[in-house]
Amino acid sequence: MTINAQNNPKYKSLTTEEEQVIVYKGTERPFSGQYNEHSEDGNYNCKRCGEALYNSEDKFDGHCGWPSFDDEIPGAIERKIDADGRRTEILCSNCGAHLGHIFEGEQFTDKNIRHCVNSISLTFEAIKMPKNNIDTAYFASGCFWGTQYHFQKQEGVISTEVGFMGGHRDKPSYQQVSSGQTGHAETTKVIFDSEKISYEKLAKLFFETHDQGQLNRQGPDIGTQYRSVIFYASDDERNIAVILIDELRKNGFTVVTELTPASTFWIAEDYHQNYYQNKGGTPYCHIYQKKF
C-alpha cells in the first residue's frame, strides 16, 4: 500500500513505513537502513521531493546506527526545536520532510556536528567524477560575496562555497569574524576540474578581480577579515602564487597579498552562499581588470 504524502502531486508516493518517519516523525531501527554503511560518491536526496540534502564528502561513521553527516548542502536543511525543548529536529527545507536530529559537541569530526538522519528519508544519486582531476583552492580577497561571484562563473569550476579561514576560533559566526577579533579572513572555497581550468588561471583571476595593493581592506570594507590572502594547499600552489606576485610587481603593481598554508575552512551561514546569484546585482568592489 502506498500513500501520497499530504496529497501533493509534486511529492513521491510513500509507503506506510516511509510515511511513519517522513510525515509523522518516527525513527527507523538503528543499523537497519541501507545508507548507514554506504560509502559511494554522490548526493543524498530527500525521499519525498528529491531535493539534494547532503554530499557524500560530508558523510562519516557516527557509530550510532544511522547515516551521519557533518555538513549539509547550503540551504537544504531546516532546523526546528522539538516540543520538549531538548533536541533539534532537521527537516528538508523544500518540503518539510522529517529527516532526523542534529547533535553538537561529540568531537567526531573537526566541524563537531552530527546530522543523524534516517536512511528511509533519503535516496541516493551517484556522481561519477574523475577524482584525479578534482582539486580545491582557497582565496580571500575582501567581501566573499564578490570573490565567489567571479569564481563560480568560470568554466571548469565545479562548485564554490564561502566561509572563513586563517583564524583562531572554531566554528566562527559571521558576526564574530566581522568583529575582527577571530583572525579569520572571508574566504571562498573553489572546487575545480584541473583538466578544464588550471590553478594558475584561478590565481590570476583572484588578482584580477580585487586590489591586491590594499592592506586589510577592500574598497569600503575595512578590517583584517577583508585582507588579501591565498591559502595554499601545496608547494606547487605557493610557487605559482610567488611567480604571479613577482610578475605583478615587475609591472608596477603593489602587492600585499599574504601566502598562508590552508587550514580548516569554516563554512559561512546559508544566507551568504551564492549571494549575488540569489539576490541579483554585481559586486561593488570586485571589478575585473586584466593585469597579466
Write out the catalytic residue numbers. Answer: 116, 143
DSSP 108-166: SSTT-EEEEE-GGGEEEEE----GGGEEEEEEEESSHHHHHHHHTTSTTEEEEEEEEES
SS3 of residue 258 by DSSP: strand
Three cell numbers written together for 215 = 592592506
Q: How far apart are the first and last CA of the chain?
A: 65
d(CA 152, CA 269): 18
Closest CA to 219 of 147, 151, 280: 147
Q: Is 260 helix (H, G, I), strand (E, B) or coil?
A: strand
How far, in Å, CA of 238 to CA of 200, rounded? 10
Please answer whether residues 237 and 229 qualify as being in contact, where contact means their C-beta atoms are separated by less than 8 angstroms: no
Q: What is the C-alpha to C-alpha distance for residues 33 and 121, in angstroms, rounded to an integer? A: 10
> What is the grid cell recorded at 209?
578581480
